[in-house]
Amino acid sequence: MSTLLLIEQVLNGLQFGVMLFLMAAGLTLIFGVMGLINLAHGSLYMIGAFAAAAVAGATGSFVLALIASLAAAAAAGAIIELVVIRRLYDRDHLDQVLATFALILIFSEGTRWVFGSFPLFLDIPDALAGPVMLPGGIQYPAYRLLIIAIGLLVAFGLFQLIARTRIGIQIRAGESDREMIAALGVDISKLYTLVFALGAALAGLAGALVGAIQSVQVGMGEPVLILAFVVIVIGGIGSIKGALVGALLVGLTDTLGGVLLPGFFGTFMEASAATAVGSSLASMSIYILMAGVLLFKPTGLYGSA
Amino acid sequence: MQFKSLILAAGLAAFASAGLADGHAGTVKVGMITTLSGGGAGLGIDVRDGFMLAAKMAGNDKLEVVIEDDQRKPEIAVQLADKMIQSEKVDIMTGIIWSNLAMAVVPAATAQGKFYISPNAGPSALAGKGCHPLYFNVAWQNDNLHEAAGAYANDAGYTNSFILAPNYPAGQDALTGYKRMYGGELAGEIYTKLGQTDYAAEIAQIRASGADSVFFFLPGGMGISFLKQYAGSGVDLPVVGPAFSFDQGILQAVGDAALGVKNTSQWNKDLDSPANAAFVEAFQAEYGRLPSLYASQGYDAANLILSAMDKADVKDADAFRAALAAAEFDSVRGDFKFGTNQHPVQDYYVREVIKEGDVFTNKIISASLEDHVDAYAAECSY
């Protein structure tokens, strides 16, 4: 395998990683601050993508579509927090899983009811269509570079938000002691709604960004949700830094595993058998990574014990 | 799902009671298990709509249909099948889209003496040694469309194909089918994850492989993702695939990225026959959209059953089976007959994705395989 191809695959892994980060950041914030397992996070991702597709279809503007995805997902997040999730904070995790699973079904079938059963069209803006030439002669799709840039910007913004702002202080305080922060006069329920909407908006943004190069269809969120859970378990639940590191690790492992493992088995096996064994093992690679991390750090890389 | 099922149930109840009101013997009860909710719902809905359109057009009040949603889950399909056989007491079953669900349901249903008419899934296991006298496939055997693609690749002069498919039984059937007909070299062979949505890594490998063409089998959303990403990657090799990634339901979501792509199918809306013209027109009038190949398969499945009902009583299994095997109905595909393993012997075509006004669709550009018999027919004996 040439160095250029390897660099290109590393970029692919990075791009996949930052996309996972957008999903995992919201999930880990919600779990960290409120102690809630939100299975419906994938539905918020789907809502973002559908809102973007609808607005892009009506206006033709990709920027408006991205704004719509943020707004729609944040609004949906705030509404379900106010109507459903709020009643679940004091219940155990099983009740939360059941209720948020019900939300998945409601959102999936509701979306199908509104938009129909067939996938929607959402394309990348013309200005970003096609590849750009990177130094060293690598052709790489411009849009994927944009995803990497947006993901890193969002990560930077989140770190600033958590570390430098008053809201960030409240979020961190909420993570370590919920009763105390309420006793100090912070409106905890408003904080919860805000955090939930923020997490939802990030998921919606991820859905819109990715929807443009994948398919916008009902059920698109659930496979990503599973990966996002893997990411936050690896990174340590509640840690934004852990979510970023975990997401990049998972992205790189998944991409490079799929590329390198079949080649590795090909050195001593017959070609089509090597492809089969290599790709099967590659699909397991991130779970093996997760098991390995948990073996040595049971609370994840940046988790607090 | 609930709401839709309610509407569906109400519609069916009306349908069923109309059938019952008539009340005389000879009613044929068909149990349709298909995918009506979740990610793959578009396919099941097309099969159902095609089937119900044929039933409506025939106006035969002895045909009674019970429809259930399998949610694309094998365990649910099995439960529904048990319910249909034991409490609904259906005579014929049909509807399943996915091969893994078909493998879970069909052998059990035929073992209990029910006819099964497959409007889509055609796993090799049921076409060869596992064939059954009560099992008919009215669509194709899984390998067929890929074989047609391989034959097209030869005609187009491709000598170094890069091939990829998801790592599951139908994906393996696909690459096997392509390789069976394709005579050139392979620049690369990749199994992707089932349900994978990002193909950047595979596209980079295609770019580096020195291939002269790409064959892919990525049904549904996977194909949409692949084509959009492929178009944005700057790789310029010709692409060929089976019709599953280019059907009417998903072309609009792929958009310009699919324009000009060659794909292989046993059917297209521009096939020149009166039966097909009537079908396309009636489907558009009834549902307000263009039919897909899945809809055509559902339509043919219903017409096959209706043709057998005219000739024999479903309670007389041997006579009914002979009537089905004769396949004396006006298929939208024109020429249609069953081979010895009760799978289609039919023509396959090469289609090209074009734009008609604002709508992306396919047109037939050439024939690929004529009167093609699937590779497993010889292994089947009853």
Report the alpha-carbon distance of residue B272 to residue A180 in Å, rounded.
76
Residue to test with chain A: of B224, B237, B245, B289, most A Cβ within 10 A: B224
Name the residue with tokens 């001593």: A268
Report the alpha-carbon distance of residue A267 to residue B205 in Å, rounded.
17
Report the alpha-carbon distance of residue A173 to residue A167 in Å, rounded.
10
Residue of B nearest to A107 (CA): B1
CB within 8 Å: B253 and A216: yes
Strands (E), A64-215: 131-134, 138-141
Does B6 touch chain A if contact means CB atoms closer than 8 Å?
A: no
pLDDT at B32 over 50: yes
- Residues, chain B: 382
Report the alpha-carbon distance of residue A233 to residue B310 in Å, rounded.
62
The closest CB to that of A16, out of B198, B220, B252, belongs to B198
Residue B23: per-residue pLDDT: 38
Report the alpha-carbon distance of residue B23 to residue B20 in Å, rounded.
5
Instruction: Assign B131 a pLDDT band (cuts: 50, 70, 90).
Output: very high
Q: Is the ipTM of this complex over 0.90?
A: no
Report the alpha-carbon distance of residue B113 to residue A125 in Å, rounded.
56
Rg (CA), chain B: 20
Q: For residues B320 and B312, is the Cβ–Cβ distance under 8 A?
A: yes
Which residues does B194 contact at the CB level (< 8 Å), separation at least 6?
Answer: B166, B167, B168, B171
Name the residue with tokens 């709509």: B49
CA atoms within 13 A on the CB side of A16: 23
The closest CB to that of B195, out of A2, A108, A223, belongs to A223
3-state secondary structure of B265: strand
Which residues does B263 contact at the CB level (< 8 Å), separation at least 6?
Answer: B149, B240, B241, B242, B243, B245, B246, B350, B351, B352, B353, B362
Q: For residues B230 and B199, is the Cβ–Cβ distance under 8 A?
A: yes
Overall average pLDDT of the B9-18 stretch:
43
Q: Which residues pair with B349 in a beta bridge?
A: B265, B367
pLDDT tens-digit profile, chain A (305 residues): 578 888 888 999 999 999 999 999 999 988 888 888 899 999 999 999 999 999 999 998 999 999 999 999 999 999 999 999 989 888 888 999 999 999 999 999 899 889 887 888 888 888 888 888 888 778 888 999 999 999 999 999 999 998 899 988 888 888 788 788 888 888 888 888 999 999 999 999 999 999 998 888 888 888 899 999 999 999 998 888 999 999 999 999 999 988 888 878 878 887 777 777 887 888 889 999 999 999 999 989 988 75
The closest CB to that of B167, out of A216, A218, A279, belongs to A279
pLDDT at B230 over 80: yes
Does A220 touch chain B if contact means CB atoms closer than 8 Å?
A: yes
Rg (CA), chain A: 20
Does A8 touch chain B if contact means CB atoms closer than 8 Å?
A: yes
Q: For residues B241 and B220, is the Cβ–Cβ distance under 8 A?
A: no
Handedness of CA A280, A285, A286, A291 (dihedral sign): positive
Overall average pLDDT of the B155-163 stretch:
95
Strands (E), chain B: 28-34, 63-69, 92-94, 115-118, 135-137, 160-166, 185-192, 213-216, 239-242, 262-265, 337-338, 344-356, 359-372
3-state helix, strand, coil in chain B (%, to 5): 45, 20, 35
Report the alpha-carbon distance of residue A114 to residue A97 in Å, rounded.
25
In whole angstroms, what separates CA B193 from the centre of its chain? 22
Amino acid at B379: E
Does B133 touch chain A if contact means CB atoms closer than 8 Å?
A: no
Q: Which of B287, B224, B293 is CA-nearest to residue B47?
A: B293
What does the block give as tokens for B342?
């009760």
Residue A264 burial (CB count, 10 A): 15
| pLDDT tens for each residue of B237-255 | 999 999 998 988 889 888 8
CB within 8 Å: A215 and B201: no
Instruction: Assign B39 a pLDDT band (cuts: 50, 70, 90).
Output: low
Q: Which of B221, B249, B176 is CA-nearest to residue A275?
A: B176
Report the alpha-carbon distance of residue A276 to residue B171 in Å, rounded.
11
What does the block give as tokens for A12?
């692919």
What does the block give as tokens for B55?
């039933």
Instruction: Assign B151 a pLDDT band (cuts: 50, 70, 90).
Output: very high
Report the alpha-carbon distance of residue B382 to residue B341 in Å, rounded.
9
Who wins on pLDDT, A262 or B69?
Answer: B69
Q: For residues B241 and B263, is the Cβ–Cβ distance under 8 A?
A: yes
What does the block give as tokens for B86?
């034991």
Compute φ and ψ for A15, nearest 5 degrees: -65, -45
Does A246 touch chain B if contact means CB atoms closer than 8 Å?
A: no
Instruction: Assign B379 a pLDDT band (cuts: 50, 70, 90).
Output: very high
Which pTM was predicted? Answer: 0.82
> What DSSP character marks residue B258?
G
- Chain A nearest-CA distance from B255, in A, is 7
Instruction: Assign B12 a pLDDT band (cuts: 50, 70, 90).
Output: very low
CA distances from B6 to B10, B67, B69, B259, B336 (A): 6, 12, 12, 39, 37
Does B382 touch chain A if contact means CB atoms closer than 8 Å?
A: no
Residue of A nearest to B169 (CA): A276
Measured N-to-C along each axis, helices A41-59 and A221-235 cross at an angle, to the nearest 10 degrees, of 130
| pLDDT tens for each residue of B263-297 | 999 999 999 999 999 999 999 999 999 999 999 99
- Chain B nearest-CA distance from A51, in A, is 15
Report the alpha-carbon distance of residue A264 to residue B84 in Å, rounded.
49
Amino acid at B248: Q
Residue of A nearest to B229 (CA): A213
Q: Which of A79, A75, A65 is CA-nearest to residue A201?
A: A75
pLDDT at B135 over 60: yes
Report the alpha-carbon distance of residue A106 to residue A69 in Å, rounded.
19
pLDDT at B4 over 60: no
Which residues does B361 contact at the CB level (< 8 Å), separation at least 6?
Answer: B248, B251, B269, B290, B353, B354, B355
| pLDDT tens for each residue of B115-129 | 999 999 999 899 999
> What DSSP character marks residue B35?
-
Compute φ and ψ for B358, nearest 5 degrees: -100, -5
Residue to test with chain B: of A213, A225, A252, A270, most B Cβ within 10 A: A213
CA dihedral A96, A97, A102, A107 (to 10 degrees): 100
Handedness of CA A142, B39, A77, A121 (dihedral sign): positive
Does B193 touch chain A if contact means CB atoms closer than 8 Å?
A: yes
DSSP assignment string, B286-317: HHSS---HHHHHHHHHHHHHHHHHHHS-TTSH
Which residues does B17 contact at the CB level (< 8 Å), separation at least 6?
Answer: none
Interface of A with B in 92-121 (CB under 8 A): 105, 108-109, 112-113, 117-121
Report the alpha-carbon distance of residue B132 to residue B111 in Å, rounded.
9
Q: Which of A19, A64, A60, A78 is CA-nearest to residue A202?
A: A19
Interface A–B counts its CB contacts (< 8 A) at 136
Contacts of B207 in chain A (CB under 8 A): 139
